[in-house]
Amino acid sequence: MIAPVLTTDRLTLRPFALADFEAFAALHLAERARLGWTIDSRDEAGQLFLAMAGEWALRGVGMWALERTDTGEFIGHAGFHHPLTEPEGELGWAVVAEAEGQGFAHDAALAARAWRYANGTTAPVSRMDARNVRSIALAERLGAQLEKRVEFAPDAVALHYRHPKEAA
C-alpha cells in the first residue's frame, strides 16, 4: 500500500519523496530532536527515512510527509509507526523548528488520527520522552490521557498516552 494523500486547510499529508530527505535528515540530526531516540548520522537518518516510507507497504499504515500547501515545503512528518518490538503502533509527529508553534503538528495529527479511526483503529497511543514538553502538550490538546510511564534508559522516561476511542 502507498500512503493515501490527505489534506487540511494548510497541509498536504503525502507519501515521502526522495527530495524530502535533506530536510528530514536535518530535522532528525538537530539537537532539539534528541529526545527519545538519537539519530547520530545521515546514514541513520536515511535508515529511518526508508523505514518510515516502507512501513506503508508492510503494515498498510505509516507516516506521511507534511507539506505546506502554500509553499510546497516539506516541514516534517506525522502518522503511525509500529515498531516490531511494540504490541501496538503509535501516533507520532515531528516538525522542523521553523514550523513549531504554528499548529501544523496539531493539524497533521488530527488528520492522521481521523484517517486511522476511519480505517479500523480506535484509541491509538502516543509515546514520547518525558522531557518533550511540546509533544506532551500536543497529546493532551488532542485529548490523549497519560496511561503509564516507562523507563527506557538510565534517567530517561517515556510517557505513554492513550487517545480517545473516537474522533472528538
- What domain count does the chain have? 1
State the pLDDT at residue 34.
62
- Residue 69 in any domain: the answer is yes
φ and ψ at residue 64, rounded to 5 degrees: -110, 145
Q: Name the CA dihedral angle for 63, 67, 69, 71, rounded to a multiple of 10 degrees.
A: 180
Nearest residue to 108 (alpha-carbon basis) of 3, 1, 10, 4: 10
CATH number at residue 61: 3.40.630.30
Residue range(s) defining the domain that contains residue 69: 6-121
- pLDDT above 90 coverage of the chain, percent: 67
- Min mean pLDDT across 16-25, 78-87, 94-103 is at 78-87
- Residue 43 in any domain: the answer is yes
Give residue 155's pLDDT band: very low, low, confident or very high (50, 70, 90). confident
Strands (E), the chain: 6-7, 11-14, 63-68, 74-81, 90-95, 125-129, 145-153, 156-162
- Residue 110 in any domain: the answer is yes
- Residue 72 in any domain: the answer is yes
- Residue 28 in any domain: the answer is yes
For 27-45, what is the mean pLDDT? 78
- Residue 49 in any domain: the answer is yes
Give residue 120's pLDDT band: very low, low, confident or very high (50, 70, 90). confident
State the pLDDT at residue 74.
98
- Residue 131 in any domain: the answer is no
- Residue 129 in any domain: the answer is no
Q: CA 114 to CA 107: how far, in whole Å? A: 11
Give residue 17's pLDDT band: very low, low, confident or very high (50, 70, 90). very high
